[in-house]
Chains A and B, each alone.
Chain A
Amino acid sequence: MSPTAFLAAAAAVAVAVFVAATTVGNEYVYFAGYTVLQYIVLATAWNILGGYTGYVNFGSAGFFAIGAYTTVVIYKTLQLPLLVAIPLCGLTTAILGLGMGYLTLRLRGVFFAIATLAMAIVLHTLIVNWPFVGGARGVYIIRPRDVAFFDGYMQFLFAVMLALAVIAVWIARLVERSRLGRGLAAIRDDELAAECAGVPTLKLKLISTTLSGFLMGVAGAPFPYYVTYVDPNGAFNLAYAVNSIAMPLIGGMTSWAGPLIGAILLGTLQQVATVTISSALSLLIVGVLLVLFVTLAPNGLVGLFAALSQRRRHG
């Protein structure tokens, strides 16, 4: 399928999802659906660096939160509409990703991972100490009263996140099948051998962190309007970091479908568990699933399916 055809197909699926959601007509569907879609963007973004390039980013929550807080800053200063703010949020976190990569990617991969972990904490510290965006106490965001073409603001946010998810998955698939994607895969398999095959590894890794950072910021951009009250503990929630790693790992990391499947399954599971049991327990389930998959099914669900169908063909 060509990229354009894929984009058209994905858009058609998105429209179908949107129509289905409107027929349910329940505000909660938008609310829960938004969260799952947000995880699709986040997991897909993480996978560009983690799955395609082989570098672990533990700081997804930091990127997500900086995306959200960029919206807060824009809200308090320029008051631009959300749709204009989203690319600016992405730009901010793209620069963050580039800087992060530039500082640490010359070192061994584990140092990059450790640095991202520490970076999320430092960004948290910075936001807590910045009164303009509410500091530790947080800040309230007032949603516009109504929005054109949509039946309420929540429906609009749902549609926005749906569009972002389509774009994110489309970009991931585009990267995966491009010259860039093949270079990234070579880096993931063996960085020195890649360099010796003529792959400009540092440049490609920087592109990867920048693109991944961009999409993470985009995922966080509508967040303030979704929750209407942003505080550091909510925006920097460790759940974002865990989910963005767990979803691709459980789904499968080598293709765009993995994080998509992982996000839909885990995201829905968490929504159900949060409603029926508790949010803490639903997070515990994610943690346990992450450890189980990593130790027992290292290639995720996509890998399991592939192994199963291969066995059927041969047996």
Chain B
Amino acid sequence: MEFPLDLLLNAIVAGILLGGFYAAVSVGLSISFGMLDIVNIAHPAFIILGAFVAYLANTTIGADPIVTTVVLSPAFFALGAAIYQVYYLSFEKRGHESLRSLAFFFGLMFITEVSLLLVFGVDYRTVQAAYIGPSLALGGVGLPLRLFVPCLVSIAMVVLLQVFLQKTFTGRCILAVAQNQVALQLMGADPIRIRRIAFGLSIATAAIAGAFLITIQPVEPSIGRDYIGRVFAVCVLGGMGSLPGTLLAAVILGVAESFTATFYGPSWAPAVSFGILLLTLACRPAGLLGR
């Protein structure tokens, strides 16, 4: 019975590493959907955009994919802020228009995907970095660096965001936005500006997660669709806007997918997130750490 135990341990470790990556993928949505109540279904499209930016920098000037997106994150922040401005003027200001704002983000997702398709084609793209390839071995358990490095950076990013939200004035304003607008006005902050900053942040994290993605696996423009179920499953399971909940939910999804891939085959993995999402919505819509 040595072999199955090995397989089991490997599946657990791979799942946890994958979960760390999923946390980065979903944390932005936990901010936009969970805290701001903006249903940004285009979130995965921005991840893919980040992945292709990392790819361009890597193939042209040999830059490290993760460093690239971190350095360029202000640009993505600005992109997010600009999108929020359009969203605000078109939907929030005119009153509640959930149907059309959903269609708006769906359109953005589609435009991003088709544009990338027009520029890069349908081929899978990869990047080069020192940590892609080698693997640490702990006993019989493999620890591939291409998963380990994104996982570490991702956890650092989530922790940093949590510190930002709790320790800085702007961060506390964002949390106040999530609770109620009145409290925010008492703090003397402009709710629109706070929401713009928060949405910018969420897009910046998506771009950085894109660099992780292309480090972990080859990327093509339509791959973002596989992440829609995942990001929303993690966000809802994590309790809509709780970062520790997001991290925990991401690890649960990672382990569940890793098990499914190991014992049933990788082609079933996309169904796992949907199952988790539906189960959560049916049984515990408040999420794991919800009240």
Stretch at the interface among A85-93, A110-118, A137-145, A216-224: A110-118
Please classify the interface of chain A as helix (H, G, I), strand (E, B), loop, or mixed, using the class held by over half of its residues.
helix
Contact partners of B86 in chain A: CB under 8 A: 295
Chain B residues numbered 177-199 whose CB sits less than 8 Å from any CB in chain A = none
B111 engages A280 (CB within 8 Å): no
Nearest CB in chain B: distance from A108 CB, A: 9
User: Number of A interface residues, CB 8 Å?
Assistant: 43
Residue-wise, chain B 27-57 has the 8 Å CB interface mask toward A (1 for contact) of: 0000000000001010000000000000000
B: contact size bracket = 35 or more
Give complex CA distance A54, B98 in Å: 9
Q: In the assembled complex, how far is the CB of residue A113 from the closest CB belonging to chain B, in whole angstroms?
A: 5
The answer to whether A110 touches B226, judged by C-beta atoms less than 8 angstroms apart, is no
In the complex, are the beta carbons of A128 and B274 less than 8 A apart?
Answer: no
B39: contacting residue among A113, A115, A284, CB under 8 A = A113
B103 at the binding interface (Cβ < 8 Å): yes
Given A115-B281, A122-B229, A242-B110, does the pair A50, B273 have CB atoms closer than 8 Å?
no
List A265-284 residues whose CB lies under 8 Å from chain B: 280-281, 283-284
Q: Which residues of B contact A79 (CB under 8 A)?
A: none
Chain B residues within 8 Å of A56, by CB: 99, 102-103
The complex places the Cα of A51 from the Cα of B35 at a distance, in Å, of 28
**Neighbouring B residues of A128 by C-beta, 8 Å:** 267
B125 within 8 A of A: no
Chain B at the A interface: SS class: helix
In Å, the complex CA distance between A115 and B281 comes to 9
Q: Is the CB of B232 within 8 A of A109?
A: no
Chain B: CB-nearest residue to A281: B118
Which residues of chain B are near A241, meaning CB under 8 Å?
Answer: 106
Cα-based distance from A114 to B111 in the complex (angstroms): 19
Does any Cβ of B come within 8 Å of A119's Cβ?
A: yes
Interface membership of B115, Cβ < 8 A: yes
On whether the beta carbons of B104 and A295 are closer than 8 Å, the reply is yes
| Cα A50 to Cα B118 with chains together (Å) | 30
Contact B100 A298 (CB under 8 A): yes
Binary contact track B224-254/A, C-beta < 8 Å → 1, others 0: 0110110011001000000000000000000
Cβ-defined partner of A129 (8 Å) among B39, B110, B267 = B267
0/1 string, B95-118, CB within 8 A of A gives 1: 001111111101110110111011
Contact B267 A287 (CB under 8 A): no
Let me know if A110 and B39 touch, CB within 8 A.
Answer: yes
Q: Is B271 an interface residue (CB 8 A)?
A: yes
A125 part of interface (Cβ distance < 8 Å):
yes
Partner of B106, one of A58, A110, A122, A283: A58
